[in-house]
Amino acid sequence: MAAVTDATYYTNQVGSNGDSRVKTYPTAANIRMVRIRRDLAGTESALDTFNLYRLKVGQTVIPGLSYVSHDDGGTTLTLDIGDSTDGDRYANGIDIAAAADQTSFCDGAIPAGEDTPFAATEALQDVVVTIATSGTPSAASCVFYLAIADENYGEQ
């Protein structure tokens, strides 16, 4: 059975009452960059998922500006990044099995979020990472950089 876990950042963000504040880095206009470290243990298998970030009302991920920095993830290790509605909305089959690198969310197939972004205007939405394929994974440090458009920037 596939495992579901939370990144520490997500746990701190959601907290016990769902409204804990976390640091984001404003870049320009209404775009924020969120940096989330989530190490892989090397025991992950296909369809394991972990919650990465909770989008607030009015926020959406920009896949073309988002990426993951990673160590060598072993053989055949690909990730999908999406939400509960579309599991690969932001990244579809990005390969982190290669040597340590930075991998754009658009390096796999073009994610749906590039054409039809999800605007989280009505409810909170979790950004989740799913292990799409896993051959022989190895422990790897991963730092996810989410570019987030925030229509409420400056009002918080």
pLDDT tens-digit profile of 46-82? 888 888 988 887 788 888 899 999 887 677 788 899 8
Helices (H), 21-107: none
Report all structural domains of the chain as residue ranges with CATH numbers, in order of start: 4-150 (2.60.120)
Nearest alpha-carbon partner for 78 in 64, 68, 86: 68
User: How far is Cα 118 from Cα 97, in angstroms, rounded to an integer?
Assistant: 28
User: How far is Cα 110 from Cα 72, in angstroms, rounded to an integer?
Assistant: 23
Asked if residues 77 and 137 have their Cβ atoms less than 8 Å apart, the reply is: yes
pTM for the whole structure: 0.76
Tell me the sheet residues that pair with 4. Answer: 49
